[in-house]
Amino acid sequence: MRKTFVLAAVILTTATLFAQEKNFIDQNYIEITARAEKEVAPDEIYLNITISEQDNRSKTLEKKERDMFKKLTALGIDLEKDMQIQDISTLLQKYLLKKNAVLTSKSYTLKIRSTDVLVKVFQELESLEIPDVTIAKTSLSNTDQVRRDVMISAAENAKESAQRLVTTLGRKLGNVIFIQCYDNNPRMIKSNVMEMRSAVYAADEAFKEPVLEFEKIRFDQSVFVRFSLE
């Protein structure tokens, strides 16, 4: 008796699922594929800075480091949050016709949040005779939020296209019965490594503030949506 009841329940469940699938297939619907994209300028710029005693013999590494910290702090940069020491090394270098010299250096990574501040940092480091500065990479701080916004735009484009099409054909757009999103990874573009001296300053010429524009990050989202027709 129990086996008969279980078998009947299985048959009933299968029949119910079949009926739901059949109803889904039989109803009138429209399928739309839409996409949206957005290009956003990076708001995080990472600099690699290296200080060595060889850069300026009149100042010790510690003195140049303190001077750099003061200049960066004056620009409103939070050193505890945005600067990290990457490497501390002591190299033994031999110069022709000179005695052996011990060269000490320190490397840092500094995060900057705008190109305006970037130009000012270049100026201050040049004034301190710290030439070894390169742009390592650029990135975006709110990647997830931008991705969601583009996904919403893609869905809105799908609905708009479907509404325009069914209205033209004299029908009425119903509810969404199926949706699939294709989450394409953003194209994170690294900036070219740029030396401070060659990019910002020209020898024997007055300083001219450059126009620094980084290649933007492109977000691309696609959706496939099926709407019922009423």
Can you spell out the DSSP letters for 36-85?
A: EEEEE---EEEEEEEEETTS-TTS-HHHHHHHHHHHHHHTT--HHHHEEE
In a domain, 5, yes or no: no
Q: Is 116 helix (H, G, I), strand (E, B) or coil?
A: helix
Domain total for the chain?
2
Residues 153 and 35: their CA atoms lie apart, in Å, by: 8
- Based on the fold, state whether residues 152 and 92 are members of the same structural domain: no
Q: State the CATH number of the domain containing residue 172.
A: 3.30.110.170
Looking at residue 168, what is its pLDDT? 92
In a domain, 121, yes or no: yes
In a domain, 147, yes or no: yes
Looking at residue 87, what is its pLDDT? 66
| Cβ atoms of 229 and 177 closer than 8 Å | no
Looking at residue 19, what is its pLDDT? 45
Q: State the CATH number of the domain containing residue 68.
A: 3.30.70.120
- Based on the fold, state whether residues 129 and 167 are members of the same structural domain: no
- Based on the fold, state whether residues 68 and 133 are members of the same structural domain: yes
In a domain, 116, yes or no: yes
- Based on the fold, state whether residues 181 and 132 are members of the same structural domain: no
- Based on the fold, state whether residues 131 and 146 are members of the same structural domain: no
Within the chain, strands assigned E span 29-40, 44-52, 83-93, 101-112, 133-139, 173-183, 217-229
- Based on the fold, state whether residues 69 and 102 are members of the same structural domain: yes
- Based on the fold, state whether residues 129 and 164 are members of the same structural domain: no
Looking at residue 211, what is its pLDDT? 52
In a domain, 19, yes or no: no
In a domain, 74, yes or no: yes
Looking at residue 138, what is its pLDDT? 85
Given 83, 117, 139, the domain boundary residue is: 139
Looking at residue 166, what is its pLDDT? 93
- Based on the fold, state whether residues 149 and 35 are members of the same structural domain: yes
Which domain covers residue 54, as residue numbers? 44-139
Looking at residue 3, what is its pLDDT? 43
- Based on the fold, state whether residues 134 and 147 are members of the same structural domain: no
Looking at residue 150, what is its pLDDT? 94
pLDDT tens by residue, the chain, 230 residues: 444 443 343 344 444 444 444 455 567 899 999 999 999 888 899 999 988 776 555 567 788 889 999 999 999 999 989 998 876 665 444 444 344 455 677 889 999 988 888 889 988 998 888 888 888 888 888 989 999 999 999 999 999 999 999 999 999 999 999 999 987 777 655 444 343 343 444 444 554 555 556 778 889 999 999 999 98
In a domain, 33, yes or no: yes
- Based on the fold, state whether residues 94 and 126 are members of the same structural domain: yes
In a domain, 119, yes or no: yes
212 closest CA partner among 186, 194, 227, 188: 194
Looking at residue 188, what is its pLDDT? 56
